[in-house]
């Protein structure tokens, strides 16, 4: 696409200054043998993580695996291709048949999800370098208020929708553009993103995995896949004593407390509340559709082609008499203005469509979240919330029943 744009709007000549425009240099492709090695290491790491988290129940083993993942998938592979960003490639491939999707991208995008269907979010436990790096810096975890936790977790759903929609409509790979940890793994990059990554790591000393919990779009997919997993994290190996130590030990608020009997509630009030939320759902979706269209129009105006089309239109209509460097280059190319205007309209339509779909997604996510909070179910024991639990194994050693199983001393 870069070469097509250069041919359509050729760069200006600097005959007076003698300046030479540097040529485009494409980065060297990763060797096929190394890509196969990456996939093999991913498969082995996923299997090892599942074994350590669910069978061995070993926190120490997961820590060492996490260190390996940070070094290998993070600093050595420079955080690319990562499973988080691969969802954009897959979305683009599904919407554009001309886009060739590498096998490595498919593997990194789908293998963790397949594993999550059977074993939960073991990819998050110690295989993902983003999560492993945050887990290693967590020293003094603090609890986030439940109301704030629910609100912040919506951001990841919103981010997922935006990333998929923008990738599918050709609007760009926003996950890659705004990944705060890839710049750390590469030891270079955009200053703002470097600072953002450092801020998240500092915040991660006190708040467990802030990026994973509140921003990671891939974590949303892993959570949905994990919700149906057959083998999953079980804090209590036998009878739960309701000591609440596991709940206090979990820095991610991923443990649901036992509810043996629902509190006395007004059934009519509950029904009215639920009915109101059901009615509110399509209202939120419609509002998102409307606001998304407005947002898409505003975002489209920042596109360089649309900016150029607006400028050329002003010049053609005589509204402005001066010209800009961009418009001079366009006029020098000999391209008819009508062709530029037609391309601008296509881009604007694409942005508006993307904005509307994003608005629908956001409205749907908010509405379903409100509905889920209004529904309660009984639980006999403490259970790990499979959509939240990252299988870090912290809670095991705080359970008295687990300590008895291991033959260790149970603290009084």
Residues 118-140 pLDDT 10s: 999 999 999 999 999 999 999 99
Q: Which two tokens stand for residue 386?
A: 């499979």
In a shared domain, residues 318 and 389: no
Q: Does a cis peptide bond (omega within 30 degrees of 0) precede residue 381?
A: no
Say whether both 50 and 145 belong to one domain. Answer: yes
Number of domains in the chain: 2
Max alpha carbon distance in the chain (Å)? 87
Please give the Cα distance from 6 to 1 (Å, whole number). Answer: 9
In a shared domain, residues 160 and 227: yes
Q: Could you tell me if 81 and 101 lie in one domain?
A: yes
Looking at the fold, whether 80 and 110 belong to one and the same domain comes out as yes
Q: Do the beta carbons of residue 202 and residue 387 sit within 8 Å?
A: no
Position 363 in a domain: yes
Find the domain containing 339 and state its range. Answer: 265-374
Q: Judge if 163 and 303 occupy the same domain.
A: no
Mean local confidence (pLDDT), 382-410: 82
Residue 275 domain flag: yes
Question: Is there a domain that residue 237 lies in?
Answer: no
Whether 199 and 68 map to the same domain: the answer is yes
Tell me whether residue 5 is in a domain.
no
Amino acid 7: pLDDT: 45
**Model confidence over 331-381: pLDDT tens digits?**
888 888 899 999 889 888 888 888 888 889 889 988 888 887 777 666 666
Q: Are residues 345 and 402 in the same domain?
A: no
With respect to residue 207, please indicate whether it lies within any of the assigned structural domains.
yes
Question: In the prediction, which pLDDT does 1 show?
Answer: 41
- Identify the three-state secondary structure at position 256: strand
Of 331 and 48, the one with more pLDDT:
48
Question: In terms of domains, do 186 and 280 share one?
Answer: no
Q: Which residues neighbour 136 within 8 Å (Cβ) at sequence distance 6 or greater?
A: 63, 66, 67, 70
Please return the burial class of 358, using the count of CB atoms within 10 Å of its CB with bins 0-12, 13-18 and 19+: buried
What local confidence, expressed as pLDDT, does residue 18 receive? 57
Same domain, 356 and 397: no
Taking the complete model, does pTM exceed 0.85, yes or no?
no
Does residue 249 form part of some domain?
no
395 and 352 inside one domain: no
Q: Which two tokens stand for residue 24?
A: 């485009």
More confident residue, 61 or 248: 61
Determine the pLDDT at residue 371: 85
Whether 52 and 195 map to the same domain: the answer is yes
For 59, residues 6+ apart whose C-beta sits below 8 A from its C-beta are 392, 393, 394, 396, 397
Tell whether 12 is covered by a domain. no
Asked whether residue 60 is domain-assigned, the answer is yes
């Amino acid at each position: 696409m870069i070469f097509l744009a250069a041919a359509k709007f050729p760069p200006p000549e600097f005959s007076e200054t003698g300046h030479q425009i540097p040529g485009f240099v494409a980065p060297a492709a990763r060797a096929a043998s190394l890509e196969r090695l990456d996939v093999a290491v991913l498969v082995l790491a996923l299997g090892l993580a599942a074994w350590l988290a669910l069978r061995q129940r070993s926190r120490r083993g997961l820590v060492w695996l996490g260190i390996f993942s940070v070094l290998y998938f993070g600093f050595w592979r420079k955080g690319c291709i990562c499973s988080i960003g691969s969802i954009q490639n897959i979305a683009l491939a599904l919407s554009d048949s001309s886009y060739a999707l590498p096998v490595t991208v498919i593997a990194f995008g789908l293998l963790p999800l397949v594993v999550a269907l059977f074993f939960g979010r073991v990819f998050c436990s110690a295989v993902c370098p983003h999560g492993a790096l945050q887990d290693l810096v967590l020293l003094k975890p603090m609890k986030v208020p439940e109301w704030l936790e629910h609100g912040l977790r919506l951001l990841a759903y919103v981010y997922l929708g935006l990333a998929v929609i923008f990738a599918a409509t050709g609007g760009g790979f926003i996950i890659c553009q705004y990944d705060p940890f890839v710049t750390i793994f590469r030891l270079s990059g955009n200053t703002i993103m470097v600072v953002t990554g450092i801020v998240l790591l500092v915040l991660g000393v006190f708040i467990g995995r802030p990026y994973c919990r509140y921003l990671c779009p891939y974590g949303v997919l892993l959570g949905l896949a994990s919700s149906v997993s057959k083998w999953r994290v079980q804090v209590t190996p036998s009878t739960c004593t309701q000591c609440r130590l596991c709940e206090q030990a979990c820095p991610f608020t991923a443990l649901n407390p036992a509810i043996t009997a629902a509190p006395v509630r007004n059934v009519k009030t509950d029904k009215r509340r639920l009915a109101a939320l059901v009615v509110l759902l399509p209202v939120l979706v419609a509002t998102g559709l409307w606001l998304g269209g407005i947002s898409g129009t505003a975002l489209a105006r920042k596109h360089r082609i649309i900016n150029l089309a607006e400028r050329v239109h002003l010049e053609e209509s005589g509204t402005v008499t001066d010209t800009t460097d961009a418009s001079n280059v366009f006029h020098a190319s000999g391209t008819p203005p009508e062709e530029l205007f037609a391309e601008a309209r296509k881009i604007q339509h694409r942005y508006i469509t993307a904005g509307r779909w994003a608005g629908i997604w956001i409205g749907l996510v908010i509405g379903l979240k409100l509905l889920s909070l209004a529904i309660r179910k009984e639980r006999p024991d403490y259970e790990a919330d499979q959509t939240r639990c990252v299988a870090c194994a912290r809670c095991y050693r705080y359970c008295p029943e687990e300590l008895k199983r291991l033959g260790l001393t149970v603290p009084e």
